[in-house]
């Protein structure tokens, strides 16, 4: 009796979420300390102390606007604080009108797809990619087209990209630092990507929007450079979330940047504002808009994740697992030691190791491990990975 569109989705409901919910059940059975849950990007690092301070200040101010409606795009002073921070850090020239506060990055992506897509429009992304993208595009009857991965570097495969871009391509969706690989798309790759897009826009006579999903922007290691994409291509729209940078994933707070250089700017901005309202978000949560504005230059303890990255990466490498060393985010994308990545995840589960099959990211033969966990979880999981490697005869 439900929507036909939903039947398949319910049956194949997010494997990541299913694993997360199963992990909670396993924790209840075996004790949380005996379950090694690498399934979900739920940051283990507490929010910066400034978040707590901001909440306490806001509550004590008793401002009538604290929990109230505001313009659908969000509080103007919050949007102003955000664009000033962006301008300072990336040498951009945004004004508050360019910012729409959203219910996290997932909300922002839904808003922009609702704003842009007609049925059958195509959105290209690069495998491996966050599996939910397929639903976000499908919600508006668009079609997600995945470019096959370059499993050596996990940089976008530009040759393959050029083969799949067509007159139906409305947008290209990228995610850097990347979930699930932790790879940061190199400036050189970006330049090649947008060169193709510029050429194809000319050829087809239609704008092709570059949508940059950036929840992991602040989570980078070894000082790696993450290009700000509006500076490379004028039809760029940025989606951001404070879920990871301030460890606030449950609060659903993020924003879209729609620069004035975007083709059909007024209409795109208007459509995004209306979409924010009619999709039922109405506005991003009011108090957390004010909280993030007060914490705009705060960020999470990247050093914590860096230590986890080193421990898990080195530990797995010693056991014979193959993996590219991530430059950002908090995921390791490990080659499955057996062909069937789903089967590998099932075997791992026997050791209470919860990891997610790469096929959920459009890249079978790999598995994702989210290392945004307690450091001890990694330390205690490594002997279990050793047992797993033994079972698979990777080590004696």
What angle (nearest 5°) sits at the alpha carbon of residue 247, between those of residues 359 and 290?
Answer: 125
Size of the site for its own copies (CB under 8 A): 83
Within positions 328 to 367, which residues make up the interface with its own copies, using CB under 8 A?
A: none
Backbone angles phi, psi at 128, to 5 degrees: -75, 150
The DSSP H or E segment spanning 315 is helix 302-318
Confirm or reject binding of residue 110 to its own copies (CB under 8 A). yes
Within positions 224 to 253, which residues make up the interface with its own copies, using CB under 8 A?
A: 247-252
CB of 356 to its own copies, least distance (A): 15
Residue 1: how many CB atoms within 10 A of its CB? 2
- Distance CA(14)–CA(46), nearest Å, equals 26
CB contact set of 182 (below 8 Å; sequence gap of 6+): 309, 324, 325, 326, 327, 328, 329, 330, 331, 332, 333
**Residue nearer to its own copies on the CB measure, 152 or 266:** 266
The DSSP H or E segment spanning 388 is helix 375-391
CB of 148 to its own copies, least distance (A): 24
Inter-axis angle of helices 265-278 and 104-116, to 10 degrees? 120
Q: Which of 22, 97, 132, 387 binds its own copies (CB under 8 A)?
A: 132
**Residue nearer to its own copies on the CB measure, 56 or 224:** 56
**Residue nearer to its own copies on the CB measure, 70 or 394:** 70
Within positions 40 to 69, which residues make up the interface with its own copies, using CB under 8 A?
A: 40, 42-44, 46-47, 51-52, 55-56, 59, 62, 64-69
Within positions 259 to 278, which residues make up the interface with its own copies, using CB under 8 A?
A: 263-264, 267-268, 270-271, 273-275, 277-278
CB contact set of 219 (below 8 Å; sequence gap of 6+): 177, 244, 245, 300, 302, 305, 328, 329, 330
Q: Which of 117, 193, 194, 353 binds its own copies (CB under 8 A)?
A: 117
Residue 365: how many CB atoms within 10 A of its CB? 16
Confirm or reject binding of residue 118 to its own copies (CB under 8 A). yes
CB of 220 to its own copies, least distance (A): 22
Confirm or reject binding of residue 104 to its own copies (CB under 8 A). yes
Confirm or reject binding of residue 308 to its own copies (CB under 8 A). no
Confirm or reject binding of residue 18 to its own copies (CB under 8 A). no
Dihedral sign from CA coordinates of 114, 116, 119, 125: negative
**Residue nearer to its own copies on the CB measure, 285 or 315:** 285
CB of 315 to its own copies, least distance (A): 24
Confirm or reject binding of residue 17 to its own copies (CB under 8 A). yes
CB of 60 to its own copies, least distance (A): 9
- Distance CA(251)–CA(284), nearest Å, equals 10
Looking at 63-186, list the stretches that DSSP marks H as alpha helix, in order from N- to C-terminal side: 76-90, 104-116, 132-138, 158-164
Q: Which of 85, 92, 139, 380 binds its own copies (CB under 8 A)?
A: 139
- Distance CA(89)–CA(41), nearest Å, equals 26
- Cβ atoms of 266 and 101 within 8 Å: the answer is no
Confirm or reject binding of residue 395 to its own copies (CB under 8 A). no
Confirm or reject binding of residue 182 to its own copies (CB under 8 A). no
CB of 34 to its own copies, least distance (A): 18
**Residue nearer to its own copies on the CB measure, 34 or 118:** 118
Within positions 195 to 224, which residues make up the interface with its own copies, using CB under 8 A?
A: 206-207
**Residue nearer to its own copies on the CB measure, 267 or 379:** 267
Confirm or reject binding of residue 391 to its own copies (CB under 8 A). no
Which residue stretch of 13-21, 82-90, 150-158, 184-192 sits at the interface with its own copies (rule: CB under 8 A)?
A: 13-21
Does a cis peptide bond (omega within 30 degrees of 0) precede residue 326?
no
**Residue nearer to its own copies on the CB measure, 223 or 250:** 250
CB contact set of 396 (below 8 Å; sequence gap of 6+): 390
Confirm or reject binding of residue 186 to its own copies (CB under 8 A). no
CA 83 to chain centre: 21
Torsion of the alpha carbons at 361, 363, 365 and 366, rounded to the nearest 10: -50
């Amino acid at each position: 009796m439900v929507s036909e569109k939903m039947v398949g989705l319910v049956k194949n409901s997010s494997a990541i979420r299913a694993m997360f919910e199963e992990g909670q059940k396993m924790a209840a059975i075996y004790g949380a300390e005996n379950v090694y849950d690498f399934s979900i990007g739920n940051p283990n690092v507490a929010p910066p102390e400034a978040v707590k301070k901001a909440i306490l200040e806001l509550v004590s101010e008793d401002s009538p606007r604290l929990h109230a409606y505001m313009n659908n795009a969000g509080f103007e002073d919050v949007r102003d604080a955000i664009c000033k921070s962006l301008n300072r850090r990336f040498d951009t020239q945004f004004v508050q009108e360019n910012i729409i506060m959203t219910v996290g990055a997932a909300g922002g992506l839904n808003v922009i797809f609702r704003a842009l897509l007609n049925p059958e429009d195509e959105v290209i992304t690069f495998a491996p990619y966050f599996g939910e993208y397929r639903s976000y595009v499908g919600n508006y009857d668009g079609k997600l087209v995945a470019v096959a991965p370059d499993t050596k570097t996990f940089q976008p495969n530009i040759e393959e990209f050029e083969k799949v871009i067509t007159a139906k391509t409305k947008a290209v969706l990228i995610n850097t630092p990347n979930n699930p690989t932790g790879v940061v798309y190199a400036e050189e790759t970006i330049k090649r990507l947008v060169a193709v897009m510029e050429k194809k826009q000319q050829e087809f006579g239609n704008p092709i929007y570059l949508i940059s999903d950036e929840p992991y922007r602040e989570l980078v290691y070894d000082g790696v450079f993450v290009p700000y994409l509006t500076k490379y291509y004028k039809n760029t729209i940025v989606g951001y979330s404070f879920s990871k940078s301030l460890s606030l994933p449950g609060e659903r707070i993020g924003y879209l940047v729609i620069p004035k250089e975007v083709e059909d700017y007024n209409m795109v901005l208007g459509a995004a504002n209306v979409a924010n309202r009619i999709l039922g978000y109405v506005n991003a949560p009011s108090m957390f808009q004010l909280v993030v504005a007060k914490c705009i230059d705060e960020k999470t303890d990247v050093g914590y994740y860096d230590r986890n990255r080193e421990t898990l990466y080195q530990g797995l490498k010693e056991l014979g697992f193959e993996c590219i060393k991530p430059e950002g985010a908090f995921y390791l994308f490990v080659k499955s030691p057996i062909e069937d990545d789903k089967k590998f995840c099932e075997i791992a589960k026997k050791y209470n190791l919860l990891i997610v099959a790469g096929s959920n990211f459009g890249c079978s033969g790999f598995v994702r491990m989210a290392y945004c966990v307690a450091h001890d979880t990694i330390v205690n999981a490594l002997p279990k990975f050793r047992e797993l490697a033994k079972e698979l005869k990777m080590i004696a």
